[in-house]
Each structure stands twice: as structure tokens, then as C-alpha cells.
Structure 1
């Protein structure tokens, strides 16, 4: 039998290589990153009520070289989509609040949220207090802490409720800080408080080491007072501490004062965050 050359050629010819599968992308696509950025910005605004682009850069891109530009780009898209609304704040710049569609978008991701269209703290007299508290919370979040402002506490977003704190301390803090089982109460001094109110704040240090609430796993680890470092709030807090504890020995006073931290924020105008230095009140008493 004669074998054709075509048949022999087919036997000797190497098999055709199978097409290689298309490699899967090693990371999220640009569209996926943009979607994640949008949700991150919406979540940050929901947690604080209202934030500026500078705050959002610190919240969503901490330490990034172009965090502000990323925030501005993402916010622009969210405003165009109707999920954020720009409002003129009390310092003349723009703050952003959730719209109803923005809150609904977060609800679809399982994040509880409410719109901020009715928030008086954007253009009202409490704006500076709110902005400083929020910016300090973001500063501490970038350091690995959980930080929740009063807005989050009142709206039920934090792992501690406003009712639990009021029941335990008879006072609503401006924020709380959590790491592990430790919880710190935070007070912001953006305008001078009267001495009786400052005495109430420093007296919270007397509860350090105790359970925050019977239903919670947290122990009170300390008290933090946040204020603009250019103002004299630290001296006023120290005066209130001496007034509260003057009957105690020097050793007891120092021990209690060591439980209070003065967070001295370096603030430029208008409310430009440059950093924060923390010192124990014991250095001032």
C-alpha cells in the first residue's frame, strides 16, 4: 500500500499549540477602583454628616500624595450623579452632604445612612467645632483607631450608642476613640467653655479603668481634649483639674491628670489641618 506524502506530512508536522487562556487581571480594574472610591467617599460623608474635599482626602487616601485630587475627582462625579450636594459652610468653603439618592446608594451596600440636606451645622455657629472634631477623628483613624464623632453616635453608626454613654457618664462626648477593648472619651474645645463644664470633663478621668457599660466590652482608657494649639484651652483645662482635685495629694493629682490627654492641633486658616501633638495633662498641672 502506498502512503501519500500528505499523510506522512501530517504525522511529522508538530501539533498546533493550544491558545493560551487570557490572564486574569492581577488587581481591580480602573472601573472597579472608581466604584470603590465612590462608596468610600459616601461612607465617610455618611459617618460625619458633612466633610470638605481636604477631609475626604484624609479619610479615603490617608498619606497619599494626590489624595486631595483623588477626593476632588470622586466628589465631582458624585455631585454630577446627584449623590452628594455641595453646600457653602460657615467658613466660606464647600462642604458636601449626602442626598437622598446618596443615602440610598449606601443602603444598597449594606451601609446605614441618612441624607444631610437638613444639617444646620454646615453653615451654623457649630461648624468649626464639627469640622475640628471630624478632622481629628480622621487623623486617628489613619493611625489604626476606630474614631466616631457625636454625629455617628447619635445616628447609631458606632458600636456604642449615645444612650449607653449618657446613662454611664451623664454627658455626651464629642467623639469616642476605640482600640481593642479600650475606649477614650473625646471633647473638642473650639470655643471657651465655662469652668464648671471643664471640671465635668476632667472628672471623667476618675472613671478610667472601669467598664463603659454593662452591655459593652469596653473599658474607659482615658479622656482626650482636642483644641487649636494657638489658643489657651490647655491652661484652662489644667486650671479646672486643679479646682477639681485640689484636696488630693500631689501624687493622686498627677495620677488622675495622666489619664487626660491634650490633643493640640496645628491648624492653619481656614481650618487647614497640619498635624497634631498630644501631651498628658500631667505636664500642665
Structure 2
């Protein structure tokens, strides 16, 4: 079962993965060389996720505060993924998955770094205190639950929580935030979005074959999904509240999220 790694076959998308043998596909897309080729285009000359020559657009105080609050919540999500990914290297069931998860550790560390740097550029001097003050309880609780799954050694549930549920939420939120963001924040988000799509592709490809014909695992993960649904949706709403986005102008996270879990056959 090859779902595909969107936007991950080279910067120009020229290589087509779907005609490859499944084992060859995994050898290719879960390698360090593939990871390097995928990220090189938006890392070169962008030490903090954006072109240093980009003019930092002045923001009004209300908008600045909104962006700071959103970024604080993004930092919690990225810190959760960083800590979880590092633990999942040990849990990985094979070398390909272990290598991919190691690349994800690097990705998540970079995401956290660029968001923290952006907070600093927006005038936040004590990022740890500001994140603790502004982070919505739902994303903090999601982080706690994700790390509990990792600590319990539950590879399948951790992949679902991190590489399907969290990545779907972040991909949807970041993509729509980027559409109206200031130029610097837009560039930062665009690079992160490319990574999130690759991480989501890994999650779907890893879980898909495991769930085929395995009713017990599918039922167990459906329970995990049901438990996390409310936290995901509350975090989504809180982020767009912070950005001042009216409810009738928000993206349909529910549709994106349901599409991802439906592909895995996980009924809530």
C-alpha cells in the first residue's frame, strides 16, 4: 500500500514514486539522501527559515499579538513532535522507519528553532514564559498524551497521533495561515509545510499495511483517534481565534482530518 509522499520527490516533483516496487519505494523515500534532497531547496541560504533579504513588514499591535499567540501554540506542537520523534527512533520496527524518524527529529528541531527565532524578531524576549502563558490547554494536553503513547512503547498509536493527527492539523493550519501572513512568517511556514506533508505521507504508508486485515489494531487505533479528536479540534479553533479569523473564513480541518483517517479505515 503506497499512499505517496506529497511534494517529497525532489523540489520540482519530477520523480514519480507510484510505479516503484513497494520495498524500493520505502528504501528511497525513507533515506537520508532523499531527505536531504527534499529539504535542500528551502534550507540553503535560509538559516531561520526565510531569506534574510526579505523586508520584515511592520505589524500593528493587534496583529503582532495575534501572530505571537499563534506561534506560541505552534512551538508546543513542534516541541511535542520533537520529543516524540526522538523516542520513536527507538520504537521503530525496521531500519527504514528508524532512519526516517531520525530525519523527522531534525525537521522538528528546525521547526521549533525557526518559530522561536520568529518570536524573538517579533519582540518576545522570554519565549519559554510567553509560550507557557499563551499556549491553549488542548495543545498542551495533546502533547502530554502523545508522549504517554511513546513512553508506553505503542508504535502504531504514536504514529497515528503524531504523523497522522498532529501533522494533518499542522499542515492545514500552517497552509491557511501562510495565505494571509506577513512575508517573513509566510516563508517560514512554507518550508515547514513541505516537511509536514512528508511526515504525513510516512504515517499513512506505515500504518496502512499494518491495518489491512488487523481488526484488533484498527479498533485500538480508532479508540485512540476518538480520544484525541476533541483535543485536535479545540487546538484548531484556538489557533484561528488567536489569528482573529472569523469562523466562516476558517479552513475545513474536519474534512482534511477525516480524509486522512478514512484512508486508514479508522472510524471514530
Structure with the largest fraction of helix: 2
Greater Cα radius of gyration, structure 1 or 2: 1
State the structure with bigger RCO (CA 8 A, min sep 6), 1 or 2.
Answer: 2
Looking at secondary structure, tell me which structure has more strand per residue.
1
TM-score normalised per structure 1: 0.27
- With the length of structure 2 as denominator, give the TM-score of the two structures: 0.28
